[in-house]
Chains A and B, each alone.
Chain A
Amino acid sequence: MTVAEAIVRCLEKEGVKVVFGYPGGAILPVYDALYHTSNIKHVLVRHEQGAVHAADGYARVTGKVGVCMATSGPGATNLVTGIANAYMDSIPLVLFTGQVPVSQIGTDSFQEVDITGITLPITKHNYLVKDPDKVPSIVKSAFHIASTGRPGPVLIDLPKDVTLAKIDFKYPTAVKLRGYKPTYRGHPYKIREVAEIIRKSQRPVIYAGGGILSSNAADELVQLAETISAPVTNTFMGLASFPGDHPLFLGMLGLHGTRYANLAITECDLLIALGARFDDRVVLKLGAFAPNATVIHIDIDPAEIGKIVKTHVPLVGDVKHVLKALVPLLEKVDRSEWLERIQQLKEQYPLTYGEGAGLKPQFIIEELCRLTKGRAIVVTDVGQHQMWVAQYYRFHEPRSLVSSGGLGTMGFGLPAAVGASMAESGKQVILVTGDGSIQMTMQELGTLMEQELPLKIFVMNNFSLGMVRQLQKFYHEGRYMATTFRFHPDFPLLAQSYGMKAYTLETREDAVHLLPEILSEPGPVMVNCLIPPEEDVMPMVLAGKGIDEAID
């Protein structure tokens, strides 16, 4: 069979159900092979960036590897933002790109670009295939590398003559990679040491990141927290890994975190970091972060340990494996004094917003949470609305928040929501976006309609780039340069042109009356939410300040 047919067979063997892509000359042999299979659904997007974000959203919801295809040259370069996005958030993707024939590589031929060179710093690994016989083992390795250890995107560049070549297909059963052996089991001695330190602590805090979700360790996290009576704060990437209404939950920490989470970090004597990487938006001023705490850092990526903060007990391993070994070593303890202090902080510094005039975006999120019982899949874009979702939507189930954390990619939301909707999770999918973000990848409304996905889109419309505007307010004395839109399309009319239902919400009463109806619509809906431009994301830690110095 041809290599292209072999690739499709490999995808079937890997259990791939959906591929997101956009065809073109150099990748055509693979599309031709897809034509002859009915086992894999191909989702045609409207721009390659949409394909990679959709595969990303699909991977975040299902926990499986997202698969994406594009042609050579511009097709490949259009993937770049999405690859960087997946790399920063450790999302498993396998991307196939077409390439000019091997003999033309390096000659600046039509639609030629060195995509393996371009994506070197933003992929976990990549391949330029020159030997047709190696394709099955490369595809197998790519899926293995993408989905194991700390997950990430892997790109395979396929010259057209390679995909047309004939090979004897044999899918390898095992992967042999001398230089890649992630550590899953934590060292037993270190695990006992961690248990001993936890036992001795008075005021422990668990700081849990996206690693909990990638290793499917949400249940183990709850067990640990309940056993040792330690409050849990999530990083943005870690949200939905711990139940939003659990009495031990502190919400998100960091720049726009709850004040009680941030103050718990300041006051704790033991910080248990699980699958988190001490991002600068979390740590803020280094010396002021958990100044009195012993730091235990458990992560599958050794390079994250000691990268930013001094770690007292490093433990390399998969969080789920480690917690499974750790929890049985611990006995149930009562830390009423510490938990009373936490309760006091929660009462003293609650998460609030002014009940002023107009339609408050925080209120919309609270209502969405109430109506969906915190059990919808919420996809967001990037900006103020993203932080309001993080603060006010109380997630209950792992993998129910889909959002661009590390890279902060505006335009991620709509295509990621298409991918999340294709995941067949049985849950309602909601996209919360902004008037800035949605206009970056708005063309994917076509994909949404073509796939008949009942997505509910909430555009938090303040006629401005709210988050950037907020930065200008605080750091540039309110000189709002290039952050106000003087022209917008009529969003409801735009949605209608795609055949979608549309609503506009202007007041709190509109929201109260219409949200239940909107959420129960059988098809896709776009909701234009006219929110006040002067609304800020609060609390906020100003630049150069410590985590304990947030302003409300």
Chain B
Amino acid sequence: MKHTLSVLVENKPGVLVRVAGLFSRRGFNIDSLTVGRTENPDVSRMTIVVDGDDRFIEQVTKQLHKLIDVIKISDISAEEYVDRDLVLIKVAAEPSQRVEIMQMAGVFRARVVDLGRKTITLECTGHEGKINAFEESLRPYGIKELVRTGKVAMLRGSKLSGDAELTGRRKDGE
């Protein structure tokens, strides 16, 4: 099962390599990883999607907790949450095909961000499944280039991911 871990880390050089290195040397696979600053400039949030059973996720979480620069970990997939992925896709488009492609983009609420002589670049955000469907629908035209951000996620309602109940340390301390 896929799990989405929301990880608060110190915003310091080398933190990403500590987290990524931990995954590779313990034989854990990362599906996607995004990182960016939070409302607090000293703190970054990583959204890590990993695939594995509960025991595996427990071990990943515990090992991450041992990193000094990791402040908090929440497995937000255990709760109600929203997540978004952003994609930029450059599609081959002869001037005659532009309208058709732009109509398609409208269905997915994607936006045109650039227009070339023979290409059109689209931006789309949404749930992973929607992004996949968008990509499939453009494939027949010829995708020249594609870049995805990976998933960012947040708990629904007034709950904060940083305070979610499922931080590994608390779970085991009890």
With known contacts A120-B18, A179-B10, A303–B173 Cβ distance under 8 A: no
Option from A121, A178, A179 in Cβ contact (under 8 Å) with B21: A121
Does residue B145 face the partner (Cβ distance < 8 Å to A)? no
Residues of the B chain whose Cβ atoms lie less than 8 Å from the Cβ of A190: 174
Q: Are A125 and B68 closer than 8 Å at their CB atoms? A: yes
Q: Which residue of B lies closest to A154 (CB)?
A: B68
Q: Which residue of B lies closest to A301 (CB)?
A: B66
> In the complex, A180→B65 CA distance in Å?
8
Q: Which of B54-62, B107-115, B124-132, B151-159 contacts A (4 or more CB under 8 A)?
A: B54-62
Q: Are A302 and B168 closer than 8 Å at their CB atoms? A: yes
Q: Are B21 and A120 closer than 8 Å at their CB atoms? A: yes
Q: Are A179 and B70 closer than 8 Å at their CB atoms? A: yes
Q: Are B65 and A302 closer than 8 Å at their CB atoms? A: yes
Q: Are B59 and A303 closer than 8 Å at their CB atoms? A: yes
> In the complex, A121→B63 CA distance in Å?
12
Does residue B160 face the partner (Cβ distance < 8 Å to A)? no
Does residue A307 face the partner (Cβ distance < 8 Å to B)? yes
Does residue B172 face the partner (Cβ distance < 8 Å to A)? yes
Residues of the A chain whose Cβ atoms lie less than 8 Å from the Cβ of B10: 178-179
Residues of the A chain whose Cβ atoms lie less than 8 Å from the Cβ of B70: 179
With known contacts A121-B25, A314-B172, A302–B62 Cβ distance under 8 A: yes
Q: Are B59 and A302 closer than 8 Å at their CB atoms? A: no
Q: Are B62 and A179 closer than 8 Å at their CB atoms? A: no
> In the complex, A120→B59 CA distance in Å?
19
Q: Are A307 and B59 closer than 8 Å at their CB atoms? A: yes
Q: Are B68 and A316 closer than 8 Å at their CB atoms? A: no
> In the complex, A178→B9 CA distance in Å?
9
Does residue A221 face the partner (Cβ distance < 8 Å to B)? no
Does residue A198 face the partner (Cβ distance < 8 Å to B)? no
Q: Taking the nearest CB of chain A, how far is it from the CB of B129, in angstroms?
A: 33
Q: Are A116 and B21 closer than 8 Å at their CB atoms? A: no
Q: Are B172 and A316 closer than 8 Å at their CB atoms? A: yes
Does residue B69 face the partner (Cβ distance < 8 Å to A)? yes
Option from A177, A179, A180, A302 in Cβ contact (under 8 Å) with B173: A302
Residues of the B chain whose Cβ atoms lie less than 8 Å from the Cβ of A305: 172
With known contacts A120-B18, A177-B68, A183-B169, A306–B55 Cβ distance under 8 A: yes
Q: Taking the nearest CB of chain A, how far is it from the CB of B7, in angstroms?
A: 10
Does residue A356 face the partner (Cβ distance < 8 Å to B)? no
> In the complex, A316→B174 CA distance in Å?
8
Q: Are B65 and A303 closer than 8 Å at their CB atoms? A: yes
With known contacts A120-B18, A121-B21, A121-B25, A187–B65 Cβ distance under 8 A: no
Give A contacts to B, CB under 8 Å.
116-117, 120-121, 124-125, 128, 145, 177-181, 183, 187, 189-190, 301-303, 305-307, 314, 316
Q: List 27 A-B contacts (CB under 8 A).
A: A116-B14, A120-B17, A120-B18, A121-B21, A121-B25, A124-B68, A177-B68, A178-B10, A178-B71, A179-B9, A179-B10, A179-B67, A179-B70, A179-B72, A180-B68, A183-B169, A187-B173, A187-B174, A189-B174, A301-B66, A302-B172, A302-B173, A303-B63, A303-B66, A305-B172, A306-B58, A316-B172
